[in-house]
Amino acid sequence: MAPPSSDQPDEAAGSGAISKVLVVIAMQTEALPLVTKFELVEAATEESIFPKGAPWTRFHGDYKGLHIDLVWPGKDPLLGVDSVGTVSAALVTYASIQLLKPDLIINAGTAGGFKARGASIGDVYLASDVAFHDRRIPIPVFDSYGIGARQTFATPNIVKELNLKVGKLSTGDSLDMSPHDESAILSNDATVNDMEGAAVAYVAEMFSTPAIFVKAVTDIVDGEKPTAEEFLQNLISVTMALDQAVTKVIDFIDGKCVSDL
């Protein structure tokens, strides 16, 4: 891929209405309902904007006054499963920012939730903050770098208008939760946890692109059911709740400036 362009996305407080929205999503199951809803078209392989060999997939189209690009990291070339996790999320976000220059990023996806924080299956959250919970570097200053805590782009009008729940998001590369991860998640004061959000936030901040995080709860991390079992059991139904929430967010964004969110 070509080196980063000096032509960066507009500043968050730009005066123009949002015209280009990038939706970053980890799994095909999560992506396809939105592709159908917004009548997006898959970019042909021979027309891909991404580097040769990258399995990343892009769907695109116009919806109301917006141009929407939806990207997901595709299938692992060897194993054929969704390329979930922070590495794939960071790579596809970086490439998409450089090549598509969005005005706004929406990282949408499913997540685990904590009943101790009030989360229930099917709840949809806007993340107020993000952090990592599995990057342990017990050296002064490096420890804070590993956690990577940062506030997300504030969207008080979306929260008020759509009545979405708000909570902190913690990100790691494992579906289960080790004792070390649990301790870190508690330290992060997280209500939901996923496998991509903080990585997307890191790249978005690097290139001054506002990003918001819409997460729907598939499993209760501090519940009684095994995480993997509960996740698979609820994935389809919760994806529908995610689809509805993202559609409402997109409808709200249409015609507005970033500063209006």
Contact in structure between 214 and 124 (CB atoms under 8 Å): yes
Q: Which of 196, 219, 230, 243 is catalytic?
A: 219
Query: Is 62 designated active site?
Result: no
Task: Tally the residues of the chain.
Answer: 261
What gap in Å lies between CA 104 and CA 95, rounded to an integer?
15
Backbone angles phi, psi at 240, to 5 degrees: -65, -40
Q: Which of 10, 30, 69, 243 is catalytic?
A: 30
CA distances 177 to 109, 148, 149, 168, 185, Å, are 19, 19, 19, 17, 9
Other beta carbons within 10 Å of 136: 14
* Residue (of 33, 1, 8, 18) closest to 68 by Cα position: 18
Looking at the annotation, which residues are catalytic?
Answer: 30, 219
